[in-house]
Structures are given as C-alpha cells and as structure tokens.
Structure 1
Amino acid sequence: MSGRHTSAAPARYWLRSGLLTLLERGCGLVFAFGTAALLLRHLSKPGFAAWGLFLIAGYFVEMGRAGLIQNGLVRHLAIYRDRKGHYAAISTASLLLNIVFSLACALLLWSGAGWLSRTFNAPAIEQILPVYVWINFAMIPFTHFNFIQQANLEFRGVFWSTFCYRGMLFAWVSWCVLSGRPVELYDLAMAMLAGAVLGVACSWLFARRYLLHARRVDGYWLKKLAGYGKYVLGTNLSTMFYKNIDKLSLGHLLGPAAFAVYDAAGKVTQMIETPSFSIAQVVFPKSAGYEGSDNKEGVKRLYERSVAAILAIILPFVALVLLFAEPIIHLFAGAAYMESAPVMRLTALFGLFMPFAVQFGTILDSTGKPAVNFLYTLFTAALNLALSWLFVLKYGLFGAAFATLTAYTVSFVLMQRYLFRHFGISALNAIACLPG
C-alpha cells in the first residue's frame, strides 16, 4: 500500500501536495465566497442569518468528524502503510467510528432544530436543518475516502470531491439568479446534498486503489482510534466554538440582522485562513513521522518554515483588507452591508494569529499530544465566550471583534511559551524565515 508517492523527493512532495491542497481549499473558498456574495443580495438579513446558522451547524458536525477520525486515521495509516493487516484493521475501525458519529449527529440535528430556531429567532432553521441529516450520512463515505487518500499522500481526489461538493451549491445559486428563480433556503440545502453525493462518487474514483478493509472490526484499533480522536474531537469543537462565538453571541443578544452584518465581514476574512489549513493538511503526515524519534529539531524546523510559508501568503491579503475595506464590502455584499467594513478591519487581524495556532495544533496532534492541544483550545474558547458576552452587550459589533482578537492574543502568548519550552520553537524564527 505504499503507493507511488512515498518514494518521491521531499521537494516534489511539498510542491505537489501543497499545490493540490491549496487548490482544494481555494476552490472551496471561491465557491463559498461567490455563493455568499449572491445570497447577500438575494436573501433578506434574517434569511441570510438562518443560512449562516445552518452552515455553522454543519461545520460543527464536519469539524467534529474530522477531529474524531481524520488525524488518527491518517497518522496510523501513514505508519502502517506497508503492513496490510494493520492497514485494513485501521481502515475498518475508522469507518465504524465514522458511522457511529454520524448516527449521533443525526439525532442531535433532528432534536436541536427547534432549540436553535428559538434561541436565535430564526424560524427557517427548523425547515432546513433536517436536510443536513442526509448530508451528514453522505459525508461518511466522502470523508472516509478523502482521509485514506491523504494518508497515502494522494490529494487529487480530495480536490475534485471538494470541487463537486462546493461547486454544486454555487452552480444552483447562480442558475437561480440568472433565471430569475427565487432563492429558497430549502432548495439551497438540497443543492448541498446533491453536491455531497456527487463528491462521494468523485472521491471513490481516486481512493479505490488505496481501499483495504478487514472482515471484522478489531477492538484494539477501535479503542485506540477513539482514544486518540476524542481529544482532537474536543479540540476541533472548541476551535469551532471560539471561532464562531462572536457572531453567535451577536445573533442571540442583538438578533439575526446583527449576525448577518458581522457574518458578511467574516466571509471576506475567511480567505485569509485558507493557507493555514491547506499547509496543515500537508504538514500532518510528515510531522507524524517524528513521533517517538526525539527529533525536536525536525519538528522545530517544520513548524517555523510552515508558519513562514503561510504568513508570506496571507500578509498581502491582510494589507488589502485593511486598506480597502469599504470597496471590498461594497463589491462583495452591496450597499446594505457597508457597516461591516470597519468590523472587517478588525477581523482581518485574526488571520495573523491563525498560522501559529493551526500549526501548533498540527504539531501537537501529530507528535502524540492531542490532550495538550485540546486544553489550550478549550481555554481559548472559554475566554472568548466570556469576553464576547461582556463586550457585545457594551460595544455591539465591535465588541464581538475585540473579544475574539483579545482571546487570540492571549492564546498566542501561551502557545508560543509552550512550544519554546518543549521544542525550542520561536515565533521570531518563523518570522525570520519569511522570504525577502
């Protein structure tokens, strides 16, 4: 099961894998960005807020799935890639975890729709959230195939499945706009479901050469993967919480219109995060090989160079947002959302902390320290919750942004202290690695 990528030169691996994962994240972002730009002009603010809540609920499910399954599966398959018995047992145990997780999420989605509707004053969420139950089931094979490809350093299917999944929704919204058909929330959810099913077929085409499963579930690997994944699950959910608590606080305390305005700014600055997660996806299989080798210098070099690479990409985007916030918002969301521009200048600064935080988690998870990563992420989430509740009531939209920026700053200092003590990693060294 070694595949043809394992013997490739390191430089070729980074170039090919980095490009494909950046394209995968990039196409997903472009489709999401384009879809949001159209919806901001063709949905009311309450409608856009309801759709935003639908997406957040879906993100929680998928980030939870990735946390429980992805890193553990990729890490162990990367280690046992040439031992077919272990490889098959790991794949089967991971698939069972995926199914159990999806069943639990289906129950939560069905039962939680009414609560979300009442809490955020978004009645439409009760109609569309049940559709995500079926998307959730489609994501079982979708993610299983993609994670196995990642473990084998194959990223083509990941790109094309994401292209189909994200592209279908964009294509549907574009067709509605061009044909004059009203944009309905339920139709949007069904378009996402169709994209997920198409993505499954596409991912399977590339993953099938790496698929190998056992006839029985190995209890040892089931327990091992669940034990590893529970911390990453907690980390990912905490990450989703602290990344969204600002706008969720706005929605609950100030209503759906405030949520929509803040979310418009957030959609623009999301593009700054794309390089962070793209490079993390490439770094993880490589850094997993350092566990148990006591190669702190290798971990240090990997962290500092990957952070520098991300910063080199995102700094121009941050500068553009800071300088041209008003025309960017007008072009993206229209005149109805111009009050988002000053807030967007603050949310753009979040991206400066993201490379350090994402690579912190990648290094700790891949070197067998997911519990430590979980504790740091949970602390950041709790701090952001407390600050958001205080600042939103006093400062409104700006309060939400200030709360998140403050939480990121405190978390950055604590994370860098840990990395320096345990790996000799310095943020200054990462900055010094910037080109030019």
Structure 2
Amino acid sequence: MSLPVERDPTWAPADSRPLATIARNVTTRYLSNFVDLGIGLLMLPFNLHHLGWEAYGLWVLTAGVTVHFSVLDLGYGSATVKFIAQYRAQRDGKALNEIASTMFYLFAAIGIVAYAVIVALAFNLDHLFAITPEQAHVGQWILLIVGLNIACNFPFSVYGGITDGFQRYDANNIVAVVVSLLVAGVNALVLWMGYGLVPLVAATTAVRIAGYFAYRHNAYRVYRSLRIRLADVRRSRLREISGFSVYSAVIDWANKLNYELDEFVIGVFLGSAPVAVWVVADRIISATQRLTNQINGVLFPFIVDSDTTKRQERLQKVLLEGTRLSVATVLPIAIALVWLAGPLVRTWVGPAMMASAPLVQILAVVVALRVGNATGMTLLKGAGRVRYLAFANIATGLVNIALSAALVRPFGLTGVAIGTLIPVACTTMFVLFPAACRRVELPVGRALRFAVWPALWPAAVVVTALAAIEIAAPDTLLMVAAEAATGALMYYGLFAIAIGRRDRAEYRTRLLELMGRRPRLAPAA
C-alpha cells in the first residue's frame, strides 16, 4: 500500500526556486549543445581522414535513412512531458504511473514496427541508392545496427520525458554530455586501433544504447514512486494523451513545412545547384535558432504546472519576461547577420557562395520573429491552446509553400526567402502573440511596452549607428566575430538603459541569488 501523498517526499516542490531551476536547465542545455558542436567540429575531419570520403559518405547515407523515423513519435513525446508535469502538479501518482506505463508500451510497439521497416530497407539498399553490391552489404549492417538504437530510443524516451516533466532537464543534459563524450572517445579508439566502419558503428551504437539506462536511472531518481507495468496500461489514458499529441504532431509537421521543405521547392523549380546556396544560409540560421531558443524549451513543464495550478499571474510573468529575454537574446545575433552576412559567407565558405548573403539577411528576420515569439507559442502549447497553435502553424506552413512556389521563378532564391518571411511575420505579429496575451488576460499594448519595446529600440539605434559608420569589411572569421561582438556590446549597453533602473536592480538581485549571494540591503532611513 502506497504512502499518503502528503507524506511522500517525491512531491517535494522542485520549483521552490523556479528561477534557479530554469537557469540550471538552460545552462546545462547550452553545455550539451556546445559539447556536441565541439565534438562535431573535431570528429568530422578525424573520421574523414581515417575512413575516407567513400566510407564516410556511405555511413551518412545509410544512417540518415533513420532520421525520418522521428515522425513516428506522432507528438507523443511532448505529450508525455505535458501530462507528467500536469499530474505531478496535481500530486496524482496513480495517473502519472498510468501515463508512463501506457506511453512506454505504446513506444515499445512503435519501436518494433520501426525496426521491422528498417530491416526491410536494409535488404533493399541497392534498389534505393546508386551504390555497389559491396557498399550495399556494408550498408545493410550499418542500418541494422543503427536501427537497434532507433528501436530502443522510442520506449526509453519515456524515461527522459518523465525527468523533463519534473523540470529536471539538467539531469538529462548531463547524461547527454557524458554519452556524447564517451561516443567520441570510443569512435576515436576504434579507428586508432585500425577497425573499419561496421565495428565503429557497432561500438558507438552500443554506447548510445547503454546511455539509455542512465536516463532510466534519472527517471526513478526524480520520481521514486515510478512504476511502469503492463497492468497499468489504460486505453483511456491513450485517448487522453492522443487528444494533445495529435495537435503537437501537427505543429511538428507544420514546422517542417515552414523550415524544411524550402529545399524541395528550390529543387523542383530551379534544380540541384541552387540548393547548395540555400543550404549555406539555412545552416547559419538553424545554428542561430538553436543557440538563442534554449530557454523556451525548458519552460514547457513550468507553464503546464502553472496552468494546472491556476496561477495566472505567474503565466503573465512568464510571457512578459520570457518574451523580453528571448527578443534580447536573438536580436544582437540577427543584427550581426544582417550587417555581416557578406563577410561571414565569404570567409566561411568562399566567394562562390556569396549568393547566400541576401538569404541570410532575410532569414535572420525570420528567426528573430520566431525566437522572439517562442515564449508565447510555448505558453499556448502548455496552457490549453495547443489546437489553436496547431491550426495557426499549419496555415502558416501551407501559405509558406504556396508563396515560395509562386515567387521562386520571378525572384529566384530571394523569392523563396520572402515566401517564408511574409507568413511567419503575419502569424507572429497578428495571430500568435495576441493569442498568448489573451490567454493570460494581458493587454497586447502592455505586453509590447514591457516585453518588446525595451528590447527593440536598442536594436534600431545599433543598426542606424552601424549604417552611419564606414567600417572595412572583415576578411577572416575571427574579425567577423569581433565586429559582431562589438555590435552586441553596443546593443546590451542600450538594453540595460532601456529596461530602467527598477528592472536593472531586479535582474541584479536575481543574478546574485543564482550565484548564491544575498544582495546588500539599503540602510534604513
């Protein structure tokens, strides 16, 4: 017989210091991203040197097939986090275990189906790709081995969702860092010992699968009453989760329409060569979004908790503070991309790709709008407006495809970028941000004055100042970074003025609290 809820230490409030929780989650998320980035920069040339272009290309080609199996998530991944956070807020252990058990066995079945499809693909690689019989044989082994990782990932992702639902992203992030470092180490060791591609894939996949048990350990550590049993699988819970996951899946598919099908449109109307030009800009913009949008991901269970416990004032504060910080995070980088797009492209990939520069400038505005409104979208998703968000996103995606197809012939790649900018801008400014304000009963004008204006006007001043100053174009990536940093320092100096003395003092107090120091009190009059 289980202990009464009020005596169960599992339900001790993990968000007694919500700012510290969010800061810890965001910091470790950045750590994980930077580790992955550094490993990628080091291991790509190392693997190319030891494997050769042909073997490395075969590895990327065959393993890349499994990327598309992420669509089988069907929105259940974010739905798991949502309902774990919801029932944690309600202190309902029975419902939480039923959700976890139902999702574990559902994902286990999906993993089995996914592996069956992978096996079928593995024995038909020579019909899918223009490769030799010898390459097809090696590719079979690669796909069969990597497929095991995909199959295991589905059920084990439930443990990660439980930990995230308890707002312990930091625990999962640390595991991700350790696993990435171990994979890189095993990768280097296997190639140094002279083994080939198949042993390399087998060894690194074994490390990744072993890492799943660390995620499982995290889940049982943050929720010690966790029980995943076949007896706790409930059809009613599946219906409950599906009511959210279907719209979450629509949002994911809409994002693919908005940000991943432009290359398809370009390939259909212009051919393969212009796709390479677009990809250069797309890589820069994708990295910018990943770098600047970490806070909003970790806010999701926090918003669900606030919505479940009817804390409207806290939701208002999340929207205002989150939007202000998101805009202030992305705008300096967007300014730098608009200002330095040409030198950045030239020094990174060479003058042959200079046609990417105007695309970077247009798409920098797109990413500024998207990241700036990310808190509002996360709030709509976590606070009962997921259906509205799904329909808005899918409409944006469809308009994006239609506009891009209409503009690509008369305006080329620039037309595709404009076809992306127009629907994203309209949806952000006139649909989603106002909807988020309505959800928390906050006048749009007040939200703009507090969250957007203090972060926006410093950007306008910096852009004007940079346009008036004639600076020699940088000729190295280091000089590009230095000039971008100069613009960012100008921006944040003005931003500190824009937020006012009261908010500066509040931010300073919060920073001192995060550092474990108490701010000194002013002496009594």
- Mark yes or no: TM-score above 0.5: yes
Measured in 2, the distance between the counterparts of 1:188 and 1:349 equals 41
* Deviations 1:312-368, CA, capped at 9 Å, x for gaps: 222222222222223433454456544433322222222211224432331122112
Seen in structure 2, the aligned counterparts of structure 1 residues 265 and 376 have a Cα distance that, compared at 3 Å, is same
Cα distance, 1:239–1:34 mapped onto 2, change above 3 Å: farther
Please name the residue that 1:285 is paired with.
301
User: In 2, are the aligned partners of 1:77 and 1:87 still within 8 Å (CA)?
Assistant: yes
**What's the CA shift for 1:276?**
5.3
More RCO (CA 8 Å, sep 6+): 1
The residue number in structure 2 matching 1:24 is 32
Deviation of 1:430 after TM superposition, in Å, equals: 1.8
Match of 1:84?
Answer: 93
Aligned to 1:207: 219
User: What is the aligned partner in structure 2 of residue 342 from structure 1?
Assistant: 358
Within the alignment, does 1:75 sit opposite 2:89 as a pair? no
- In structure 2, the partner of 1:13 is 21
Asked if the contact 1:160–1:203 (Cα under 8 Å) also holds between the matched residues in 2, the reply is no
Deviations 1:155-205 (A, max 9, x none): 2332134335666787799899x98x9x99x99987874664254244334
**Is contact 2:82-2:301 (8 Å) kept?**
yes
Higher deviation after alignment, 225-234 or 256-265:
256-265
Q: Which moved more, 1:24-33 or 1:34-43?
A: 34-43
Give the RMSD, CA atoms, in angstroms.
4.3
Tell me by how many angstroms 1:61 deviates.
4.1
CA-CA distance at 1:138 after TM superposition: 3.2
Aligned to 2:460: none
* Counterpart in the other structure of 2:340: 324
What is the rounded CA distance, in whole Å, between the counterparts of 1:261 and 1:169 in structure 2?
Answer: 32
- Which protein has the larger Cα radius of gyration, Structure 1 or Structure 2? 2
1:5-404 matched pairs, under 5 angstroms: 6=14, 8-28=16-36, 31=39, 58=67, 61-62=69-70, 65=73, 68-81=75-88, 82-103=91-112, 105=114, 123=130, 133-163=147-177, 193=205, 196-209=208-221, 210=223, 211-216=226-231, 217-274=233-290, 277-291=293-307, 295-334=311-350, 337-404=353-420
The count of aligned residue pairs is 428
TM-score of the superposed pair, with normalisation by structure 1 = 0.79
Whether contact under 8 Å (1:249, 1:388) holds in the other structure is yes
> Quick one: distance in 2 between partners of 1:242 and 1:117?
32
Structure 1 residue 379: deviation in Å?
A: 0.5
Worse-superposed segment, 27-36 or 195-204: 27-36
Q: In the alignment, is the contact (CA less than 8 A) between 2:105 and 2:155 conserved in 1?
A: no
Provide the C-alpha distance between the structure 2 equivalents of 1:115 and 1:234, rounded to a whole number of angstroms: 31
Change (3 A) 1:356 1:369: same
* Residue 492 (structure 2) aligns with: none
1:80 and 1:87 in contact (8 A); partners too? yes
Residue 316 of structure 2 aligns to a residue whose secondary structure is: helix
> How far 1:397 sits from its partner (Å)?
2.4
Question: Bigger CA drift: 254-263 or 400-409?
Answer: 254-263
Match status 1:419 vs 2:436: yes
SS of the aligned residue for 1:153 comes to coil
Query: Contact 1:287/1:363 (CA < 8 Å) preserved in 2?
Result: yes
Separation (CA, whole Å) in 2 of partners of 1:244 and 1:291: 32
